[in-house]
Amino acid sequence: MPRPVGLSGTTNLALVRVLLVSTYELGNQPLGLSKPMAALEAVGHQVRCVDVAVDPIDVTDFDWADRVAFSVPMHTAMRLALQVAESVRARRPDLPLCFYGLYATVSRDLTVTSPADAVIAGEYETGLVAWVGGVDPGRAIQLARGPALLPARSRLPTLDRYTRLAVAGEEWLVGSVEASRGCSHRCRHCPVPVVYDGRVRPVDEATVVADADQLVVAGARHLTFADPDFLNTPPHSRRVIAAIHTRHPGLTFDCTVKVEHVLRHPDIWSELAGAGCLFIVSAFESVDNVILEHLDKGHTVAEASEAIILLRRHDIEVRPSWLPFTPWTTIDGLVDLLDFVIAHDLVPNVDPVQYTVRLLLPEESLLLDRPEMAPHLGRYDAARLGWAWSHPDGEVDQLQQDLAALVEARVDQPADLTFAEIDALIRSRATTGRPRPVNGSVSSGPPGQRARLTESWFCCSEPTEAQLAPLTR
């Protein structure tokens, strides 16, 4: 075993060979590899990395490594990482393994029944360096910020192997950066407050700008800000955007923003549009105010509509994410969602998979203690990393399964054609017979192709069978 490494990374430290593994990061070049690689190399360790989303693991990397750590920033990543970790454990039973990232502490069972020796969530870099040096972090959630280090990207797969921005008939290379971690809100269905509990950790401004610089050199023409909410810290975010725009005036970007933040900062959107903001992702989740209250989303349906209209005044489109299937969903309520999408001219803005998403309940979900959740809960399913729940109307669960199968079978079909099939299927099972609204009757977007990323899967969706296929060679 290597001698313990001090957190400062100083003096006479044993060299440790570390294999970092990413399984999924929304189709982006993984920050979850670049940041810990910088931290580990800064104290003298030798690091290899593999992104299973684009390359299978070569098992000789297992033989090379003294320790293996898996980046697990979301549910899909964790499911896939568990599968790969089992392969590692089968080949080298004594090789120390660690999960790090937002979903690392998703289940207490991981320290007992999974192949992991350690799990580190939150601000994981310092804890990961300590673990590599021989310190046992246990089941750690760390919120203290470590040193500001430029992400190490030189040995990652190149940007042309990842998601692109489809815009104006072209596809541009995209780089993923983050200006902050954590979130000041506590939406009950979200994994972020389970770890950060309402805290926000801004990333050093100069580091974000320098990371944007190296991504532009690598060919990026568009940035995706991976922050849970870009406007948790508006002054910091504005400084970051202004600095990047000054250095790269042709660079465009997108970010994720809550509805209430869109409306709380109406004066910021002209500034962000001028700096290259093409669209925002916003977790609309539902068009049922009761469900929004259950989730503690902090906005109403009327406010979601107001946010769309406000942003379009500045030529910024919304790409809403949806959580259509919850214990309180009705089929008629799904028709309301379709009508909202049509009336606000959002069909081109929504990836079809969004109409299939079913509520995930990790072990420490803030929904578990809610009285409205109790009647629907089943057993904890360790294999799926969440609590089972059933809808009181079996037809709703069946509709979700049918929609998921439809969307997966139409993955290469244009989104508007898939939407038409989704619309027909949902309406065929609804009791309401009201006519569809006129497209754009409430708000209209621009004609033609709208800017979007070519990766359509989101963090709250279940992994597909293809994603769960064998991952090593």
Q: What tens digit of pLDDT does each residue of 439-466 get?
A: 999 999 999 999 999 987 655 545 555 5
Structure tokens at 317: 């489109």
447: Cβ contacts below 8 Å, ≥ 6 apart: none
Cα 137 from Cα 135, distance rounded (Å): 6
| Least confident span in 97-101, 196-200, 281-285, 321-325 | 196-200
- Give the pLDDT of residue 366: 92
d(CA 354, CA 321): 6
Q: Is residue 295 a contact partner of residue 252, using CB atoms and an 8 Å limit?
A: no
What would the two tokens of residue 289 be?
A: 């105010």
Q: Nearest-CA neighbor of 333 among 375, 372, 370, 291?
A: 291
For residue 142, what pLDDT is reported?
82
Note the pLDDT of residue 7. 38
CA separation for the pair 347, 415 (Å, rounded): 8
User: Rounded to an integer, what distance in angstroms lies between the CA atom of residue 107 and that of residue 386?
Assistant: 8
Determine what percent of the chain falls in helix, strand and coil, rounding each to the nearest 5.
Answer: 35, 20, 45
Percent of residues, the chain, with pLDDT higher than 70: 92
> CA separation (Å) from 260 to 76, 173, 183, 312, 453?
27, 31, 13, 16, 24
CA separation for the pair 419, 423 (Å, rounded): 6
* Residues in the chain, overall count: 473
9 pLDDT more than 70 = no
Average pLDDT, the chain: 90
| Beta-bridge partner residues of 142 | 122
| pTM value > 0.75 | yes
Q: What is the pLDDT of residues 21-69, one digit of tens each?
A: 999 999 999 999 999 999 999 999 999 999 999 998 888 999 999 999 9
State pLDDT tens for residues 255-281. 999 999 999 999 999 999 999 999 999
pLDDT at 18 over 50: yes
- What pLDDT is recorded for position 371? 95
**113-164, pLDDT tens digit by residue?**
567 888 999 999 999 999 999 988 877 778 778 888 999 999 999 999 999 9
Residue 385: pLDDT band (50, 70, 90) is confident
Give the C-alpha separation, 172 to 250, whole Å.
Answer: 12
What is the share, in percent, of the chain residues with pLDDT greater than 90? 75
3-state secondary structure of 253: strand
Q: Are 165 and 451 in contact (CB under 8 A)?
A: yes
pLDDT at 13: 57
Per-residue pLDDT band at 19 (split at 50, 70, 90):
very high
Between strands 277-285 and 317-322, the pairing is parallel
pLDDT at 108 over 80: no
Domains of the chain plus CATH, in order, are 17-142 (3.40.50.280), 163-453 (3.80.30.20)
CA 101 to chain centre: 11
Neighbours of 182 (CB within 10 A): 24
The pLDDT score that the predictor gives to residue 144 is: 77
Could you give the CA distance from residue 40 to residue 212 in angstroms, rounded to a whole number?
21
pLDDT at position 462 is: 54
